[in-house]
Each structure stands twice: as structure tokens, then as C-alpha cells.
Structure 1
Amino acid sequence: MLLRASFENFMNFEGKFTLDLSNINKKHSFNKECVENEVISKALIYGKSGRGKSNLGKVFLDLKRTLSNNDDRFENNTNYLNANSSLEDAKFSFEFKFENTQVIYSYNKKDAATLTYEKLEIDHEVEFEFDFREKKLIQARSILENLELDSIDSSYSILKHYYNSTSPGNRNSNVVSLFDFIRKIYVFSPSPNELGIDNLKHSKERIINYILEHDHINEFNSFLNDILDLDIPVVQKELPTKEKNLYFRFKNGNLLDFSSNASSGSRCLLNLFAIYKWTESSISFLYIDEFDASYHYQASMKIIDKFKRISGIQCVFTTHNTDLMNNEFLRPDCYFIIGENQIKSLPYLTKRDLQEGHNLEKLYQAGEFD
């Protein structure tokens, strides 16, 4: 699981910011499913417009880009470094816990594609530390002993080089756990017309094909009905071209094409349903930006409740909806606010001892956490 992520001089984050998911309040005994192994697994992030909620998702995309074999999926951001800073590099550090082992992976970059520094620590022991500018191995243990570094390129991570150059049976088990986790990080931005996944856009037609191919129509109907109380079933119909599509079926038997007749909320739910299904098997860390932009607050509450019940993954949502800042759904240490200079959860933004009975929304609107 991800314990914390720290980053500096990246996009709109000038100083050092840390999202700490390990900083739980053990006094809170309610909504226990939001915390797993003493790490926050379900979180909501608030913040004024322009504070960086969307860019926080790009922090995790950058980590995935650095260690992924699919670099071409990620765009090279022209505003990679903070425009107000004189520092030459963006700095990142990610701390994980795999069973009882702590793994810290850190790196610096001068742009989206160029590393200047990289370091791996396992249980407080430095496995390697490398300066790309000087092409100098500062320190290393046995993990790199069979690795050729003379021709190392600053666009290619040493850790990724080690992983790809080492046979599966000889890879360090903690590095394997790290790669398994990072490759299952996904950043989503659902909208009525397409689903943004890791900077790629997926059309609603593609999502519909996914539902049809995997025979998820009944589950999709349940998903729609649970969240929107929609009493119009969605069915599949084969077209004369042998292609299949989704249709609303009305009580009189009439069919209407789902894609062109569904509300913006229903089309967004189509995308969220795909995410919901993928979380069951192929996601370790899920970041959904403005997940509820097209929904009534009651629908948003039901969405949170559904994802909250999925164990074994970490889900982070961004929102402006203060109706969701409620102990009925999460708990105070699972609500974070991005401020001008920090990211902190509610208990660490007030001197008040937050209890289950407190109205968090009213406290927030009254400026308690400013």
C-alpha cells in the first residue's frame, strides 16, 4: 500500500507537499473499512479551484510513467516544473508498505522525460543511489551487482533497467511488489462523453463494447438503479450489421439508443461502472478527479458507498461537494484539503477533537479548517 507521496517543484506545487495516508487517527473507531492495515484506503480531497487537485493525479501518473514500459502513453507537459521556482528539478518520493517491509522510491527530474537522480531504500537500507548528471553511482548494494551502467541514459530509470534485465526468478521480491503496485495505479477523469485514463481518452462506445463483451449488462443495470433509482432497464440489441449496442427498453417495448439518449449523469455512470469493475482485479491505487461533477449529491453518496466496500485497493477522489464531508461515509482522517502550502486531513487542521457526532460540513463552511 502507498503510505505517503511527497513532491516539490512540480506543476503548481512550488514547495514540498506530502499526501500522508498513514497518518490515521486511532481514536476513530467508525467506518473502519476506510482504513486497512493502519493505512487510509478511501479518501476524499477538497481544495479551492487552482490548488492542484487534478495535478495531484499527475504526480501518480509521473511515477507510473517513470517505471512503466509504455512511456508513449504519457504526454510531455510543457509546464512540468513550477513556473515560480528557480529550482532545476522536480523532486518526488513515494513510500510503500508491502506486508511488513517498507520501500521508499525517490527520484528527481528536470522535465517529464529526463531523470537527474534516483534512489531506492528497503527497510531503511539504501539499495542504490544514482546521480544522472554526473553519471555517478553514489552507493549501491548487491541489487545492482550484475547491471551494466556505463551506457545508462537519463531517460531510463535504473530501477526499471534492473527489473527488465533480471530474470523473474532472480528479481528482488520487494522490487517485484513495487512494480506490481505501480503498474496498477490508474488516474481517471470521467466525463459524459469519454473516459480519461492515464492521459488517454476512451470513448463511451469502447466502454459499451467492454460491457457487452464481458456480459456485464445485468450488473450495469443494478449499478444504474442503485445510484440513480432508474426504473428503465438497459438491454442489448444486435443490429443488422451484427454489431451489438445498448438500448433503454421502455414498458411499451420501445427501444432508445443509450449513447445518444442517456443523460450526462447516466453516461458518466457508464464510465464509473467500468472503473468499478476494473477495481475488482486490476487496480491497486485509484485516483478519480471530480468524480461527481455530473451528479446530484445523493447519487455521489451512493457512489462513495459502493467504492468504499471494495477492499484491497486505495481509492482517492477529488470533489467540491461538501455534502460528502460527513462521518456517515468516511471519517475525519480520510478527508484531505489541499491548501496553498500543504495537504492535510481534517484532524490536523484544527485544535478541536473531532468526534463521530461532529457536523464536518458545517465546521468546514465556518472556516474551522482554514
Structure 2
Amino acid sequence: MLQDFSVRGFRNFKDWYNFSLRTKKSYEFNCKSIVNGLVNDAVIYGQNGCGKSNLGLAMLDITCHINDIPIMQSLTKNYLNGYIDEEGFAEFNYKFQFGTDIVEYLYGKSSATNTIYERLTINKDVIVEIDRRKSNKLNVRLSGTETLNRDLSSSTISAIKYIKSNSVLDLSDKNSITFNKFTEFVSGMVFFRTLTQNADYYGQQLDTSRLSKEIIDAGKLSDFEIFLNEAGVECSLDVRGEGAEERIVFKYNDSYVDFGIAASTGTMSLGIFYFWWLKLDSNKLSFAYIDEFDAYYHYSLSKLVVKKLINVNCQTLLTTHNLSIMTNDLLRPDCYFILGDKQYPFYELVDKDLRKAHNLEKIYKGLKYESKE
């Protein structure tokens, strides 16, 4: 799981900006949202322009090192903070927790595709390191990499991806096992923004145009129908077509209308959410940063979506402006964060012990911390 993240020099983050998912609290309710002392389900608030979207993009920057995926187009033109000079670069620092093991990965990049340096440690021992400002020689201490070419002067590939693609690690070695856990976790990270057909996503190659086929192939048509009806969309669904042409349709007595044609913007966004939820619930994804997740939702529908996300086996961070989901009925005070000049866990802004009966939304509206943002 992701434990801590820091970034500087990327987009609006001129100086180091730190975000931690560790909790100091031991609330005795909604405990399933905390795993081994880390927040597994988080909701992030903040004023417009505070960096909620950029924080997600920064967290997912690591995926282009590990996965064979295209860089999000917007990142090829607007990557570095505007105050960074021609010789400057962005820096990213991740800490992951796997059981009792801590993996820290720090790297710097002058663009979305040009890595300057990398250093990976496992339990504070340096395992992988390269600094192209000094040398193109790769230093690596993993069993199974003994015959690996250490000279990376002919390639700009990330050292982590190079090792992952060109080595057969000895899985009797504890560090090699932990390294694999790290790369597998990163390969399962995804960012997506606004649950619409044209949503931006990053970290996975997924085709949302196959929404109907994905739901049908997963055998989830009936569950999808139940979900829509719970969300207030009274409908009956069926399948028409054969093979690759199978599609979900609305059933009206003896007539049928394609889901993609008849669905409103809000209903389509529910379909897109369900598509992503299938991915999150499949154990194929490890981490999801969902930006503006409820942009098209009624407040009561937002609560339904959060409830569904809480039950998936995936570390999930949501951004929103919807205060109605800031409630102990869904999560707990250490799962809500406010972004400003720094990260503020909600409970740190309150000068009293919070209990399950407290109205978090009301308390938040009464806080006087605006000057910090």
C-alpha cells in the first residue's frame, strides 16, 4: 500500500508537498477503511486550483516507469512547475508498505519521459541507484541481476523498468520478493478523472467504449440493473446482439433501446463508474485516484458510490467538493483530508476529540482555516 508521497517541481508544486496516508488515530468505527495503520479509503477536499487533480497525476507518474503505457498527452506539454529553470527537474518520493517491509522510491525527471536519477531502498538499504548527472552506470543489489548489463548510456529507460524487463529475480531472496511486490503494486495503480465516457485516465490501458461487453462478459448484467435501480434509475436491462456485437439495452415491454443512446449524462456516468468498479473489484488494480468522482451525481447517489468503493480490495482516493459525504456513517475523521498550503487530515483541524455521533459536515463548515489555503 502507498504510505507516503512527496513531490516538488511538478505543475503547481514548486516546493516539496507531502501527502501521508498514515493515521495516528484508533477510532473504533469503520475500521475496515484502515489497513495496517494506513488509510485505505480516503476522500480529499480543497478549493478550486489547490492541486487535487495534479496531486493524482503526480502520484501516478510512477506508472510510466513500470508499465508500457502512453504518457497522458497533457503531461507532454505542461510538466514542470513554471518557476523551474532550464536545468531544473521535478522530483517524486514514494513510500510503500508491504507487511513489515518499507520500499522507498525517489527519482527526478526533467520531462515526462526523461529521468535524471533514481534510488530505491528496501528497509533503508539502497537496492537500486543511478544518477545520470554523474554516470550512466546502474548500481543494483538484487539476487538474479548478476549478469545484467550495468551500462545504461544507450537507453533512457527507467532503471526499475529495465531490471523488471531484463532479469529473472531469485525469489528465494527476500529483497527480490519485496521488489516484485513493489512493481506489481505500481502496475495496478490508476488515475481517472470524472466518470464520463470521455474521462481522462492514466496508469492502465482500458477501453471504456467496451462498457457493455465488459459488464456482459463478467456476468454482471443483473447486478448492474440492481445498482442502477438503487441509484434511482428505474429500468429493466437486457442483452441484444451476438458475439462482439452484444450490447446492453433498456427493455420497454416488447421494445428495446441501446443503453448508450437512451442513457442520460448521469446514467451514463453510472455506467462508467460500474465499468471501473468491475476493474477495482477484480483484484487487478491496487490503487485508484478518482478525481471529481461525483461531478454528475446527486448527493445521495455520491454516498451510494462511496459505499460501493469501500468494499473493493483496492486503496482508493477520491476528490470531491461534496460535503454530504463527509460523515462518520461512511468513513471516519482520519479518512478525510483537506488540501491547502499542505495536507490537513480533518481531525487535525478540530480542537476536540471526534466521536461517531459528531456531524463532520457541520464542524467542517464552522472551521476557520481559510487563511492557510
| TM, length-normalised to structure 2 | 0.90
Q: What is the match of residue 192 of structure 2?
A: 188
* 2:342 matches 1:338: no
Q: In the alignment, what sits opposite 1:42?
A: 41
**Following superposition of structure 1 onto structure 2, how do residues 8-27 of structure 1 map, counting pairs within 5 Å?**
8-26=8-26
Residue number in structure 1 paired with 2:301: 299
Deviation at 1:201, TM superposition (A): 8.8
Q: What letter corresponds to residue 52 of structure 1 in structure 2? A: G
Task: Give yes or no for contact 2:212–2:246 (8 Å, CA) kept in 1.
Answer: no
2:71 and 2:112 in contact (8 A); partners too: no
Is the contact made by 1:73 and 1:200 (CA closer than 8 Å) also made in structure 2? no
Q: Letter of the 2:235 partner, please give it.
A: I
- For the aligned residue pairs, the C-alpha RMSD in angstroms reads 2.4
Q: TM-score, normalised by structure 1?
A: 0.90
Does the alignment pair 1:316 with 2:314? no
Q: CA deviation at 1:73?
A: 4.7
CA distance in structure 1 between the aligned counterparts of 2:24 and 2:288, rounded to whole angstroms: 19
Residues 114-163 of structure 1 show CA distances to partners (whole Å, capped at 9, x for unaligned) of 11111011111122332111216597645665432223457311122122
Match of 2:78, SS state, is coil
> Partners of 2:185 and 2:162 in 1: how far apart?
17
Aligned match of 1:236: 239
Contact 2:46 2:321 in 1 (8 A): yes
The alpha-carbon deviation at position 8 of structure 1 amounts to: 0.8
- Secondary structure of the 1:194 match is coil
Q: Is the 8 A contact 2:64 2:203 kept in 1?
A: no
Equivalence map 1:180-219=2 (5 Å): 180-198=184-202, 205-219=209-223
Change (3 A) 1:74 1:194: closer
CA apart distance, 1:21: 0.6
- Number of equivalenced pairs: 363
Identity of matched residues, %: 29
- Relative to structure 1, the CA distance from residue 136 to residue 242 in structure 2 (aligned partners, 3 Å threshold; closer, same or farther) is closer
Cα 1:302/1:24, change in 2 over 3 Å: farther
**Residue matched to 2:135:** 135
C-alpha distance in 2, partners of 1:139/1:168? 15
Return the alpha-carbon distance in structure 2 between the equivalents of residues 35 and 242 of structure 1: 41
Deviation >6 Å, runs of 4+: 199-203
Cα distance in 2 between the residues matched to 1:200 and 1:284: 12
Q: Cα–Cα, structure 1 residues 284 and 35, in superposed 2: closer, same or farther, change >3 Å?
A: same
Distance 1:237 1:263, change over 3 A: same
Question: For residue 232 of structure 2, what is the amino acid of its counterpart?
Answer: D
Residue 63 (structure 1) aligns with: 62
Note closer, same or farther for the CA distance 1:82–1:345 as it changes in structure 2 (3 Å cut): same
Q: CA 1:272–1:134 in 2, change beyond 3 Å: closer, same or farther?
A: same
Q: 1:303 to 1:242 in 2, by over 3 A?
A: closer
Structure 2 distance, partners of 1:255, 1:146, is: 62
Task: Give the CA deviation at 1:55.
Answer: 1.1
